[in-house]
Amino acid sequence: MTDNIQDLLSWDRTLVWHAFTQMAEYEPFVIERAEGCVLVDIDGNEYIDGVSSLWCNIHGHRHPRIDAAVREQLDLVAHVTNLGASNPTTIRLAKRLVDIAPPGLKHVFFSDDGATSVEVAVKMAFQYWRQCPDPPSPPAPLPKGEGSCCGTTAGDKNCFVALGEAYHGDTIGSVSVGGVERFHAMFRPLLFETLRVPAPDSYRTPPNVAPDELCRHHLAELEKVLAEHHRRIAGLVIEPLVQGAAGMIMHPRGYLHGVRELTRKYDVLLIADEVAVGFGRTGKMFACEHEEVVPDLLCLAKGLTGGYLPMAATLATDEIWNAFQGDYSEGKAFYHGHTYGGNPLGAAAALATLDVFEQERTLEKMPAKIARLEEHLARIARLSHVGDVRRRGLIAAVELVQDAATKEPYPWTEKRGQRVCDFALTQGVWLRPLGNVIVIMPPLAITLEQLDKIMEAVEKGIPAATA
Ligand code: PLP
């Protein structure tokens, strides 16, 4: 087939249905190759990757160690199912993940994307309560007329708790525990019911409320829900420390730890979705480490393969694993699987990604980058039309507002965030906003000079987009 650039652009507009994109307005942005943290488009223009190819790239693109690992795996086998079969690379990855994960997470269920890692966790939690040897005692019958949270009988742990504006992916199960109104409202009739607790969002809290107080207040709110409904709640799903798609909402310190204590107290499984924040983004390998939390189920994807290949993992404790053991005839197996779950090419990329963390001492190099990011943010915070800047590790967000004093937001239809990103593109920087929030989430391998360039593009872009 002969094709030229014009053909490709035309097919991209009309044949490819892009995710989260209004295709009637779509303008092709076609990346042909990349090197390190720089993307090169089909016309040869270069852009610094300011959002890690949607929050997944870690060590840069075309990293020689990861490229070689994938090639070596190709010389062995490209794919082996994990339905009753295995391969050495995937086994080694499971061992490696168990070694680095918060202690106690000892079993790895592989799938292929962030949403599936959450879907798996939700289904595992549900099934766990039906099979665990010591289920919580049945509650007293509900008063007449008072329905249970999922329209099921009391005593069944059928419900989940999730945070306001949570995002856990786009399959129906993960949308059910998600809570971003603009993405999820359409699908509400298809979803199972989830009890929602508000996210502890310091930006949308009056300025006189200290972080400790915010934390205490939200834990108290959560405790009310758990105290009332815990017998019917299978698990609580949370994005630890940073709620990404909600606009990089950053939780106050201590909140995650408090959530862990409450879920233990009320016999509710804690599902930590580290799809976005895992693999170093927050400055530690896993966000849970900041608060010494061990969840019952840990969801990983995105950075797992360094952003190379679709692969995800749901890690579980012995307690959960044991509840699924039994004679074949008992039907206790986890009847869930994906054709490419645990695929060896992804596993090879993941193992190499972990090697690079060690060889390049990636986490040790982060403080200097974080400090530089912080310097830029302090300057940007003073611009008019900036309502807030926030950061955790190498994840940063700049919130645009009509009026910094009142924090009056721009209508989302004005696409102010996108305008800043369009400007950044003219400066050789690729960013993707979340509504009026400009997200800066570069690969951990970003250099200080590249970071400067990204932040200068944001700084110049804001006045241009808000004039
Ligand atoms: N969970 C979180 C916290 C995410 O941020 C995302 C994606 O951004 C997902 C799950 C879904 O991951 P995927 O797009 O790989 O399905």
CA of 306 to the centre of ligand 1 (A): 15
* Ligand 1 pocket residue status of 267, Cβ below 6 Å: no
- At 236-288, the pLDDT tens digits run 999 999 999 999 999 999 999 999 999 999 999 999 999 999 999 999 999 99
CA of 116 to the centre of ligand 1 (A): 9
* Ligand 1 pocket residue status of 179, Cβ below 6 Å: no
CA of 57 to the centre of ligand 1 (A): 13
**Atom from ligand 1 closest to the CA of residue 310:** 15
Structure tokens at 238: 């949370």
What does the alpha-carbon distance between residue 178 and residue 104 come to, in Å, rounded to a whole number? 27
CB-based contact 97:315 (threshold 8 Å): yes
Nearest to 219 by CA among 178, 251, 177: 251
What's residue 352's pLDDT?
A: 98
Nearest protein CA to atom 13 of ligand 1, as residue:
114
* Ligand 1 pocket residue status of 310, Cβ below 6 Å: no
What's residue 141's pLDDT?
A: 46
What's residue 2's pLDDT?
A: 63
CB-based contact 177:121 (threshold 8 Å): no
Residues of the chain with pLDDT under 70: 1-2, 136-155
Question: Nearest 10 degrees: CA dihedral of 158, 162, 165, 170?
Answer: -50
CB-based contact 386:402 (threshold 8 Å): no
CA of 180 to the centre of ligand 1 (A): 13
What's residue 139's pLDDT?
A: 47
Instruction: Decide: residue 442, CB within 10 A, 0-12 exposed, 13-18 middle, 19+ buried.
Output: buried
* Ligand 1 pocket residue status of 439, Cβ below 6 Å: no
* Ligand 1 pocket residue status of 241, Cβ below 6 Å: no
Nearest protein CA to atom 5 of ligand 1, as residue:
276
The widest CA-to-CA distance across the chain, in whole angstroms, is 71
Is residue 238 classed as helix, strand or coil in its secondary structure?
A: strand
Q: What is the DSSP string of 278-327?
A: TTTTTSSSSGGGGGT---SEEEE-GGGGTTSS--EEEEEEHHHHHHT-S-
pTM value? 0.95
Neighbours of 293 (CB within 10 A): 23
CA of 49 to the centre of ligand 1 (A): 19
Dihedral of CA 76/82/85/90: which sign?
positive
What does the alpha-carbon distance between residue 176 and residue 197 come to, in Å, rounded to a whole number? 14
CA of 300 to the centre of ligand 1 (A): 9
Dihedral of CA 231/233/234/235: which sign?
negative
CA of 52 to the centre of ligand 1 (A): 14
What's residue 119's pLDDT?
A: 98
What does the alpha-carbon distance between residue 122 and residue 120 come to, in Å, rounded to a whole number? 6
What does the alpha-carbon distance between residue 409 and residue 397 come to, in Å, rounded to a whole number? 15
CA of 64 to the centre of ligand 1 (A): 26
Structure tokens at 429: 């920087």
What does the alpha-carbon distance between residue 196 and residue 181 come to, in Å, rounded to a whole number? 12
- At 293-322, the pLDDT tens digits run 999 999 999 999 999 999 999 999 999 999
- At 116-160, the pLDDT tens digits run 999 999 999 999 999 998 776 554 444 443 333 334 443 489 999
**Atom from ligand 1 closest to the CA of residue 171:** 16
**Contacts of 60 by beta carbon, 8 Å cutoff, 6+ apart:** 35, 36, 37, 443, 445
Degrees to nearest 5, angle at CA 195 with 189 and 201 = 110
Q: Which of 275, 286, 340 to mutate to test the pocket of ligand 1 (most atoms within 8 A of CB)?
A: 275
